[in-house]
A and B are shown apart, each in its own frame.
Chain A
Amino acid sequence: MAEPAYTVASDSETTGEDKSSSAFPEIAIGIDVGTSKCSVAVWNGSEVELLKNTRNQKMMRSYVTFKDDIPSGGVSNQLSHEHEMLSGAAIFNMKRLIGRVDTDPVVHSSKSLPFLVQTLDIGVRPFIAALVNNVWRSTTPEEVLAIFLVELKAMAEVQLKRPIRNVVLTIPVSFSRFQVTRIERACAMAGLHVLRLMPEPTAVALLYAQQQQQAVNENIGGASEKIALILNMGAGYCDVAVAATAGGVSQIKALAGSTVGGEDILQNMMRHLLPDSEILFSNHGINEIKSMGLLRVATQDAIYKLSSQTSVQIDVDLGNELKICKVVDREEFEEVNRKVFEKCESLIIQCLHDAKVETKDVADIIAVGGCSYIPKIRNLVMSICKRQELYKGMNPLEAAVCGAALEGAVASGISDPFGSLDLLTIQVTPLAIGIRVEENNFVPIIPRNTTMPTRKELAFTTVRDNQTEVLIVVYEGEGEKVGKNHLLGYFKIMGIPPAPKGLPEINVCMDIDASNVLRVLAGVVLPGSRHPAIPVMEVRMPTVDDGHGWCAEALDRTYGSALDLVTVQKKI
């Protein structure tokens, strides 16, 4: 085929802001890049349509194989056999790896994948490589994702017969703002402009809002507000949202998410079937990779079967005189994955609690994503909400991408004569954003689940007499100690006029604007003055780069607690 050549831009290129947004109504496409599968959808003028690749697939495997000189992804590539993907030549699960450092447990759990994930445990990005003709060829999650997105873009352009630039992408709730910048970087490398990033369950909430609105228009349902609990669990992540919907407007009440998903279930089962599997596969020899691939496929198959049958016979020859012959029943499967299911439960309970919603007020329970087919997942969400059934109006595998496509049309300024695009999602912050204070404590300035756009401000002060400098270290997350959270950036305030400790007022303001850009502002005021003592600092975050895992440690080593600050204490 004589198609235009698509090239991936340099990794060092920063994501540029697109200024050509207003000219013509190019409808942004919706993309759901899942950990294991991916799909693309677009508003076709009257409804959302999923695009298919040349092999007529709507759901495409998320991987890139480096078999030949030119890498090819799961959009265009035809696997001769499932094992080809597990030969070490293909990189997958990039959504689990992107924007993480080599001390991250999620990266460590990826070391048993067939391709190479090497960690030095010093807080830098992990070394990732594909096996090509007996050579480990290095790459990065951004590059892999970009190659994959280039294929998706080409596929969409052929079908829609127009150039594609604007996209709405779904992301996990638990993604940090740093990870978001890596996703944006990958998109920029693929020549795509991210019009909007939607936490996955909020895309589902938008689809739900549209369906409710349609029901009202057709006089099926009442126009009153409906609260939905949405659980979206795929291979990589488990996300929960509570949304209040009325008149096509979906107000997100709360979000909760974690890096737990089908991949964990799969690995738990592999470990259960072959207890030493991780040690066995850790050296990534050719034979071991092959055995690992065989085990992975057999386990995947067994898990799939356990969704519809109560027990399954696993019979697989892994070579190297390793044979597995075992019957696993559903109870055993649930016990092996007890921690995963408990995590899901706690996320749902937390989300309902944060949303201040009682289960009796939940109108619909929506479970989507690949893991929503697992009976235990369906049962636990129903039992928490004290319901007998789940919402039936959505395809669990297509809901998120359909929501993204709706958002793409809405954000592109498209209107529909029948009011089908008369929609809006009001988003909240998925994670708290705050700064480090004395003793490595984290003080949130914008709490999680704050409606965006937003601006919040808190006052801090010095911990030492005549302290002239303070370090503002910005983190995102829920941990009480900064070590548990994601570092976003840091800067120093200098030239604070000498004063007794506790006197200078250091105001830190955080602003998330309508484009979801985070800015941190910090200023110093002395008592008796109304004006800042020194120029206010304004820093767009995140500022960290890939080596950020050791930044916090380096700061600690260099400055200790000398530049600490502390929250202004409350008194009675």
Chain B
Amino acid sequence: MWKSKVWNLTLLSTILRRRPTLLSISHFQSNSTSHFPPTISRTSYFDFLGNPNFPGKTFCSESAEKSHVHVRCWSCGNVANGSLFLFCDSCRSIQPLDQSVDYFQIFGLERKYDIGVENLEGKYKDWQKKLHPDLVHSKSEKERGFAAEQSARVIDAYCTLSKPLLRAIYIMRLEGVDVDEEETLSDPELLSEILEIREAVEEAADSQELNQIQSQMQEKLDHWSSSFANAFQCRKFEEALNSIRRMTYYHRVNEEIVKKL
């Protein structure tokens, strides 16, 4: 069952700390006797830092390599053409959640880091028009449940792919490389750099100064983002992990600046 896999995944938001335990509340929800459609059974993770740009629930436990056999629509029996099957084109029924379809497939994208983010929003809206629970009010409870799950997953997919750092971590996981977000910072050089930047943020006199630091961080983020892209493409995963680590810290500085602005 997916649950056993969940424990192997780690939290983005716990980069700074090791937390071996994780309670997946989704599991308990599925036993609930409520008459509402089964709510989103995503795997959910905590977000220790309360950091809004790190949706803690972003990563799913799909086994990406699973080859996709032809699936029949549960409602009309139509066989899907192609592997992507959230929605039946012939009877417009929403299909049950299929974890083997990854986020890139949802957006009809090749699995690579460099994607055109500007096209995501349109595709995201197209999906929501087909899957959003608000639009299936008159359908059966079963299908409304599918809609809630699928729609939530498309939201997650959109949030993940549209943010470089989350996208980087996600694509690594699809490659089977676990990003250890719980590790303590061991690189003294990076540690002192981060401490220095934080101090600068702390002591910034006005918003102009903060904006300046912010644009520096953005430059660094862009730099490490392209380093990641290169490393990932060459399958140099150690280097890729290093880039992710950097991006995480610079991103967090940016978050702090936003809070202060």
- Listed in ascending order, the chain A residues whose CB lies under 8 Å from chain B are 17, 19, 21-22, 25, 195-196, 225, 244, 246-249, 251, 410-413, 422, 424-426, 443-445, 447, 450-451, 453-459, 505, 507, 509, 511, 513-515, 517, 521, 523, 525-530, 532, 536, 538, 567-568, 570-572
B147 CB-CB contact with A under 8 Å: yes
How many residues of chain B are within 8 Å of chain A by beta carbon?
Answer: 56
Interface string of B122-133 (1 = CB under 8 A from A): 100110110011
Residue of B nearest to A248 (CB): B129
Are B39 and A514 closer than 8 Å at their CB atoms?
yes
Q: Which 8 A-B pairs have the closest CB atoms?
A: A413-B138, A514-B133, A249-B125, A447-B52, A457-B46, A513-B39, A509-B25, A514-B148
Nearest residue (CB) in B for A450 is: B52
Most B-side CB within 10 Å, residue of A246, A422, A528: A246
Closest to B3 in A: A530
The reply to whether A457 and B25 contact each other, CB–CB distance below 8 Å, is: yes
- Whether B137 is near chain A, meaning CB under 8 Å from some CB there, is yes
Binding site for A on B (CB under 8 A): 7, 16-17, 19-23, 25-26, 28-29, 32, 35-37, 39-40, 42, 44-50, 52, 55-57, 121-122, 125-126, 128-129, 132-135, 137-140, 144, 147-148, 151-152, 155, 159, 184-185, 191, 194-195
Q: A424 near B128 (CB under 8 angstroms)?
A: yes
B21 touches A525 (CB 8 A): yes
| Bound-complex Cα distance A467 to B200 (A) | 39
Residue picked from A248, A445, A447, A507, most chain B C-beta under 10 Å: A507
Q: For the complex, give the distance between the alpha carbons of A532 and B22 in Å.
A: 9
Name, among B25, B49, B128, B195, the residue most crowded by chain A CB atoms within 10 Å (CB to CB). B25
Listed by A's residue number, 9 A-B pairs whose Cβ atoms lie within 8 Å are A17-B35, A25-B138, A247-B129, A424-B128, A454-B155, A456-B47, A505-B23, A514-B147, A530-B22
| Other-chain contact of A536, B25, B49, B151 (Cβ < 8 Å) | B25
A572/B195 contact (C-beta < 8 A), A244-B121, A453-B148 known: yes
Other than the known A525-B23, A538-B32, what 7 A-B pairs have Cβ atoms closer than 8 Å? A21-B137, A244-B121, A412-B137, A455-B39, A458-B47, A458-B50, A570-B49
Chain B residues near A567: list those with CB within 8 A: 48, 50
Q: Which residues of A contact B46 (CB under 8 A)?
A: 457-459, 507, 509
Identify which of B23, B42, B134 contacts A411 (C-beta below 8 A): B134
| Residue among B23, B28, B121, B134 with max Cβ neighbours from chain A (10 Å) | B23
Please measure, in the bound complex, the distance between the C-alpha atom of A379 and the C-alpha atom of B167, giving whole angstroms: 42
Complex: A22 Cα to B52 Cα, angstroms: 37
The docked-state distance in angstroms from the alpha carbon of A249 to that of B39 is: 23
Min CB distance, A445 to chain B, in Å? 8
Q: Which of B21, B26, B133 has the most CB of A within 10 A?
A: B21
Contact (Cβ within 8 A) A247 B195: no
Contact between B48 and A523, CB atoms less than 8 A apart? no
Q: Are A570 and B7 closer than 8 Å at their CB atoms?
A: no
A513 engages B40 (CB within 8 Å) = yes
Given A451-B155, A457-B47, A507-B25, residue A249 in contact with residue B57 (CB < 8 A): no
Q: In whole angstroms, what is the CA distance A451 to B39 when docked?
A: 15
Q: Which residues of A contact B191 (CB under 8 A)?
A: 572
- Is A571 a contact partner of B137 (Cβ separation < 8 A)? no
List B contacts of A251 (CB < 8 A). 121, 125
Chain B residues positioned under 8 Å from A453 (CB to CB): 39-40, 133, 148, 151-152
How far, in whole Å, are A529 and B22 apart by their CA atoms in the complex? Answer: 9
A511 and B48: CB pair below 8 A? no
With contact pairs A514-B37, A570-B48 given, residues A249 and B129 touching in the complex (Cβ less than 8 Å): yes
**Inter-subunit contact B48/A246 (CB<8 Å):** no
Q: How far is the CB of B137 from chain A (nearest CB, A)?
A: 5
Q: Please indicate the chain A residues that have their CB under 8 angstroms from the CB of B20 in the complex.
A: 527-528
- Let me know if A424 and B135 touch, CB within 8 A: yes
Q: How far is the CA of A456 from the CA of B58 in the complex (A)?
A: 10
- Chain A residue numbers with a CB within 8 Å of B32 are 538
Point out the residue from A247, A443, A572 that lies within 8 Å of B185, measured CB to CB: A572
Closest B residue to A443 by CB, please name it: B50
Q: Quick one: which of A25, A513, A514, A568 contacts B48, CB cutoff 8 A?
A: A568
Write out the residue numbers on chain B whose beta carbons fall within 8 Å of the beta carbon of A456: 44, 47, 55-57
Q: Is A455 a contact partner of B57 (Cβ separation < 8 A)?
A: yes
Give the complex CA separation of A466 and B56 in angstroms.
29
- Contact check, A246 vs B50: say whether CB atoms are below 8 A apart: no
A530:B21 contact, CB within 8 angstroms: yes
